[in-house]
Amino acid sequence: MHDCTVSEAEDFIESLPLSVELPDSFTTTEAKVEVTGLLTFGKYLSCLQCHKKVADGSFTAKIIKCGNCNLTQKRDKCITNCFAQVKVSQDDNQFTVTFFQEQIKKVFNILQGPQTLDEEKITEALLDAPILKIKYDNKSKIINEVSPYII
């Protein structure tokens, strides 16, 4: 077995992953919260191909170009998305989290209301929401999961 050489062991060391992905619980927090108010509401267009936000600077009247994947596309074909920065409270603790469209949709589902992009309706829905169980990213504070909190 003289094939077993030192260089093979070195290969093994080099092939170890440089960054290990952390399990979900290290990067997300679960909380039981009540929405206390809205700080920011905004809308943006997302790219048809990569679904990332298309920057305002890349627009002409009809055509936009995605800064992420370079797809040039018709503006009216792009999907309008919205987000809301929301103040929530958990017991005596207050903090800010961000709802993107997907999670706002879930709030409408919980309230059994129709989906809309209307700022007033979204504001109302978020403030009317029951106590929610949320999962959010520790760094970005973006919510990944919303469900009604059931006792």
- Which residues of the chain form contacts with Zn ion (CB under 5 A)? 47, 49-50, 66, 68-69, 71
In the complex, minimum distance from the CB of residue 81 to Zn ion, in angstroms, rounded to a whole number: 13
Smaller CB separation from Zn ion, 68 or 109 = 68
Smaller CB separation from Zn ion, 45 or 134 = 45
In the complex, minimum distance from the CB of residue 9 to Zn ion, in angstroms, rounded to a whole number: 44
In the complex, minimum distance from the CB of residue 67 to Zn ion, in angstroms, rounded to a whole number: 8
Contacts of residue 138, defined as CB under 8 A and 6 or more positions apart, other chains included, come to 27, 28, 29
Smaller CB separation from Zn ion, 47 or 84 = 47
Residue 144 has φ and ψ, to the nearest 5°, of -105, -20
In the complex, minimum distance from the CB of residue 130 to Zn ion, in angstroms, rounded to a whole number: 36
Long-range contacts formed by 108-116: CB under 8 A, 24+ apart: 110/146, 110/147, 110/148
Smaller CB separation from Zn ion, 64 or 86 = 64
Smaller CB separation from Zn ion, 54 or 86 = 54
Distances (CA, A) of 54 to 61, 66, 87, 96: 14, 5, 26, 25
Do residues 4 and 101 make contact, with C-beta atoms less than 8 angstroms apart? no
In the complex, minimum distance from the CB of residue 50 to Zn ion, in angstroms, rounded to a whole number: 3
Do residues 94 and 45 make contact, with C-beta atoms less than 8 angstroms apart? no
Half-sphere exposure for 76 (CA within 13 Å, toward CB): 2
